[in-house]
């Protein structure tokens, strides 16, 4: 399992106990606002907005917060105009990293992102330097406590999923981005709870890191996650479970 997949699952499990809950809400509000600005305020006609609202629901965000974010995006309320930026680079051990940001100040954001990379012994690269190593996919992570492989294959593959991967304690259902909503609806309809459901950048191959580099990688991901302008990040690092134990 890539470092990003492990990170997404761990963040979900921390859930309401996470002291960074307000920071999570801030990032979700940004995503809802931008999604509504780009595709309109109707989640039925705006898949990105629908996914953002679903993510907000899993974090128990109050409906008023969601409604205000949509209105800011559609222009019905005053709000900040955020810009989407993608940075690519290399983390500890030379692993590939992609960082998606939403910002109202590009200069601040690139300075912060460069600092985080440099502190971890990595560096921000040029556009396209690592993007070719990733494929855009829908990823739906399901605990083995909630579904066996045969049931999941019957539900997900029939709905259009491309593959189901055994990741130890979980299954990852992979879809083409355009089939994500149909597969997610089918899984929800079968009353199978999802730990993570998102459009992600899935690495074609992973690079193993261990020891000090693995610990550096976890601290690096924590620093990215703590930054208000960073919405998502993806890596091809294969990180051993023990490196996450201190989280």
Digit-coded pLDDT (tens) for 128-154: 999 999 999 999 999 999 999 999 999
Work out the angle at residue 239's Cα, subtended by the Cα atoms of residues 233 and 243, and round it to the nearest 5 degrees. 105
Q: Which two tokens stand for residue 28?
A: 């979700």
| Residue 179 predicted with pLDDT over 50 | yes
- Between CA 114 and CA 217 the distance in angstroms is 15
**Cβ–Cβ under 8 Å, residues 217 and 3:** yes
Write down the pTM of the prediction: 0.85
pLDDT band for position 245 (50/70/90)? Answer: confident
Please report the pLDDT score of residue 1 as a whole number: 46
Digit-coded pLDDT (tens) for 42-96: 999 999 999 999 989 888 899 999 999 999 999 988 888 899 999 999 999 999 9
């Amino acid at each position: 399992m890539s470092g990003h997949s492990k990170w997404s699952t761990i963040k979900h499990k921390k859930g309401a106990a996470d002291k960074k809950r307000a920071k999570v809400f801030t990032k979700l509000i940004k995503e809802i606002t931008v999604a509504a600005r780009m595709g309109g305020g109707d989640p039925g006609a705006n898949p990105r907005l629908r996914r953002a609202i679903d993510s907000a629901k899993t974090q128990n965000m109050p409906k008023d917060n969601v409604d205000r974010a949509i209105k800011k995006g559609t222009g019905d309320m005053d709000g900040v105009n955020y810009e989407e930026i993608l940075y690519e680079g290399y983390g500890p051990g030379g692993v590939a990293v992609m960082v998606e940001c939403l910002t109202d100040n590009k200069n601040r954001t690139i300075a912060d992102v460069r600092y985080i990379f440099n502190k971890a012994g990595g560096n921000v690269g040029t556009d396209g330097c690592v993007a070719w190593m990733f494929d855009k996919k829908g990823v739906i992570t399901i605990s083995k406590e909630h579904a066996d492989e045969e049931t999941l294959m019957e539900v997900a593959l029939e709905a259009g999923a491309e593959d189901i991967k055994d990741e130890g304690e979980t299954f990852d259902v992979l879809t083409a981005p355009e089939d994500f909503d149909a597969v997610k609806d089918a899984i929800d309809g079968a009353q199978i709870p999802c730990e993570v459901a998102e459009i992600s950048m899935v690495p074609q191959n992973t690079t193993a890191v261990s020891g000090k580099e693995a610990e550096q990688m976890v601290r690096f991901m924590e620093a990215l996650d703590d930054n208000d302008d960073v919405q998502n990040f993806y890596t091809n690092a294969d990180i051993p479970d023990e490196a996450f134990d201190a989280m």
